[in-house]
Amino acid sequence: MPKRGGTEVFRITGARQGLADDVRGRQRRYVISMTVRTLSVIAAAVLWDVQRHVAVVALALGVLLPYVAVVIANAGRESAPSLPSTFVPPPVRPALGAAETSADRETEPPHGRN
């Protein structure tokens, strides 16, 4: 559970995140992925004559990242969280023994006396 200001916060609903928040989060992930892609393509162009193997890796990243970014951005909404358990089991009470009858008391010697 996330904590804010030292108090524990409980989620009491199974409702999903709002659609606007979900779209905003997916847009943010897509923009970050495309920024990384742009930087890797620029790095590939700059490093081509200096460090060719690093440039090839950066170019491969620049080619593969758009596909990954689109798949991540279009992954859809998250599944609804499960509702918190509201079932509180009753306390366990020890079972009582069988009731003693007067006939049992007469046939058995008293405890502690022999």
- Rounded to whole angstroms, how far apart are CA atoms 82 and 35? 35
Instruction: Summarize pLDDT for 16-60 with one digit per residue, the tens.
Output: 677 788 888 888 888 888 898 899 999 899 988 888 898 999 889
- Rounded to whole angstroms, how far apart are CA atoms 30 and 69? 6
pTM, to two decimals: 0.51
**Are 58 and 45 contacting, i.e. CB atoms less than 8 angstroms apart?**
no
**Are 80 and 14 contacting, i.e. CB atoms less than 8 angstroms apart?**
yes
Which H helix or E strand runs over 81? Answer: none
Residues of the chain above pLDDT 90, percent = 6
Residues of the chain above pLDDT 70, percent = 58
**What are the structural domain ranges in the chain?**
40-78
- Rounded to whole angstroms, how far apart are CA atoms 56 and 32? 21
